[in-house]
A and B are shown apart, each in its own frame.
Chain A
Amino acid sequence: MELLNLEKGKSAIVSGINAKDETIIAKLREIGFAEGDEVEIMHYGPIAKTPICIRLNRTLIALRPEEACAIEVEA
């Protein structure tokens, strides 16, 4: 399922990073997202639930939904 659909506070494992735009994939990988990493939605921004604060292992990363939807997870 998509990371976006993960319930806040529940952790999951990254199973894939897919997007039409190659640079989005490269950016997400460079900041640290990779298959097998643990992720969890920690917070939503105050307006329209964006951006999203995601815990990646023990790092916190802010993404907008457009980028976050590139990340596939498995519970």
Chain B
Amino acid sequence: MKYKVALIGAPNCGKSTLFNGLTGGRAKTANYAGVTVETKKGIFETHAGHDIELYDLPGIYGLTARSQDEKVAIDMLNGEMKEVGRPHLMLVVIDASNLRTHLHSALQLREMGLPMIVVLNMIDIATRDGIEINVGELSNQLGVPVVASRATRKEGREELLNQIDKLLIGDLETALAKSVHDNLALLQKDARKIASIVIEKEASLNVITRKIDDIVLNPFLGPLVLALVLFLMFQAVFTWATPFMDAISYLVEALGRNVRNILGKSLFSQLIVDGIIAGVGAVLVFLPQIVILFAFIIILEASGYMSRAAFLMDEIMRRAGLNGRAFIPLLSSFACAIPGIMSARVIEHERDRLTTILIAPLMTCSARLPVYTLIIAAFIPNKPVFGFIGLQGLVMFCLYLSGIISAFIVAFVLKRTMTHGASQALIMELPSYKLPNARDFFLGIYMAAKSFVRRAGTVILWTSVILWGLSRFPLSATNLRETFAGKIGAILEKVLAPIGFNLEISIALVPGLAAREVAVGALGTIYSIQGGDANLETGLAQTLQHAWSLPTALAFLAWYVFAPQCFATLATIRRETNSWKWPVFAFCYLIILAYIAAGATYYISKIWF
């Protein structure tokens, strides 16, 4: 039989690292009907050969459920999640270096009546800081097994597995002391009493954390550091990725050439080379940028800096009608709006959460990078500004910035019209700084890369094939305008011509509605078909330089800052808000903004240049 084990603990207690350690990173996302939450589920085997299904629950501080995340965790423990049922055992993870502050949550959880093991996590960090805890005594005091575990090493994990076996072999129905009192203040008093007994040596705040915060949270230096971090992040995405992108695009081109040589000029060969290789290849090229972006976000999150950024941004966010906590969902939206929108669940206040969800698509997600990169490489000269900043990087930074500024303006307007109401409180722990765990880091990047490549192999592959078909048939067509794609594009072109878009752009926007980056592949397909073999080799960027005017290119960039071209995002908004009203609203306001921005950019730059 399979035993269900729930992993529960406060945010930042090292729960995910423990999860990855126990399961070897083999995790599946588990979805539950009617609940807008995704938790990770992993499988492992104990020494005695018991199969364990481990559920990683959202981080909670206590049992008074307020946010959606917390509610899910508590429902799961109560067995109210039908797909899972009541877990057989819970592992309560506590950060050893904050035992005094967090112990009361173990007392609260104990009263749920489930067999439990307390995992005193990151004991090595606590020891390093000079804290000494009597683990055996803690176990006596709590009346449940306590295992000390290191943050990153195997030690402690063995003991944990043995303890799990012991509980599973023994009577799982171990009756536990039921609620002595449910008054939080009294519970805390008990917890503090136990803490005073078991903590044999207490230490003050970690010196390194204190020193870093003196700089990072300084009212003058702090914002400067934050700006620097964000700027470095975007420069890195643009410059460090270049050699890898060049290598991939070289391979794609070589593959296309060779396949063409083998297959000849048949229609099938065109489908493979012009449709699939050109379309999928044009998107795969951007894998290095996505990897670098996720690497930054994972490091910022794991190191503890992300919550400092939220601290620095809180007041600005509040004035825009948001909450410092919205910073994390919004920053994740730079990678992808979908995890961003989902992580808005950490925002307890419903109206604040809604505002955050609605503006998340304005954060420049990684799917827009392929488009930005392509157009910038084609139209913006790579000359240095002020001696050390590349002009291309600067333009990229401005595009990100205009997304952010618009998001604030939209939030400000929404807060005064559709989502008005009082702001919620900010109560947020700033974890002590840590070096990110290598396994967590690589797993995170691997998952991001995998889902990107999977999209390239599915959505993008099929849209490439369909688009190739639409732009190749009927066979009697002598130019693009006469093909099926041309006919659809021609209708769109009527609407889009006033903002400077030509027929090719109008066609590329059709499949681009499914996912933004597809537009690049689509342009690859359209132009390589239109111009024959040579285009695949000279590269799309060079082709565009000749085919588009500068105002058109700039208008296209402006369009992409706003355009809601991602069905997955709209579907996520629908799921998270449980209504069609908000995805429809988001789509409409974004497309109107996109149209206005592209139009304004087109006319202003036409006068300017």
Q: Which residues of A contact B (CB under 8 A)?
A: 17, 23-24, 26-32, 34-37, 42-48, 50-51, 53, 55-64, 66-67
Contact = CB atoms under 8 A, between A and B. Distances in A.
Contacts of B98: 32, 57-59
B314 A64 contact: yes
A35 B183 CA distance: 14
Interface stretch (B59-67, B285-293, B294-302): B59-67
Given A50-B314, A51-B315, A64 B426 contact: yes
If over half of B's interface residues share one DSSP class (helix, strand or loop), that class is named, otherwise mixed; here it is helix
B315 A58 contact: no
Interface residues of B, number: 49
A45 B105 contact: no
Contacts of B222: 46
Contacts of A60: 205, 209, 213, 429-432
Nearest to A45: B315
B11 to A, nearest CB: 10
Contact of B105 (A30, A50, A67): A30
B425 A27 contact: yes
A63 B430 CA distance: 11
A43 B184 contact: no
Contacts of A53: 213, 217, 311, 430
Given A26-B64, A60-B432, A61-B429, A46 B184 contact: no
B425 A45 contact: no
A67 B424 CA distance: 10
Interface of B: 61-62, 64, 66, 97-98, 100-102, 104-105, 129, 184-185, 188-189, 191-192, 202-206, 209-210, 213, 217-220, 222-223, 307, 310-312, 314-316, 318, 324, 425-432
Contacts, number: 129
A46 B312 contact: yes
Nearest to A42: B213
B352 to A, nearest CB: 13
12 contacts: A17-B185, A30-B105, A32-B101, A34-B192, A37-B101, A43-B217, A45-B312, A45-B315, A50-B314, A58-B204, A62-B314, A64-B318
A26 B188 CA distance: 11
B425 A57 contact: no
Contact of B425 (A32, A55, A56, A66): A66
A42 B214 CA distance: 9
A34 B425 contact: no
B61 A30 contact: yes
Nearest to B314: A51
Given A46-B315, A57-B100, A62-B314, A30 B217 contact: no
A1 B64 CA distance: 28
Nearest to B204: A58
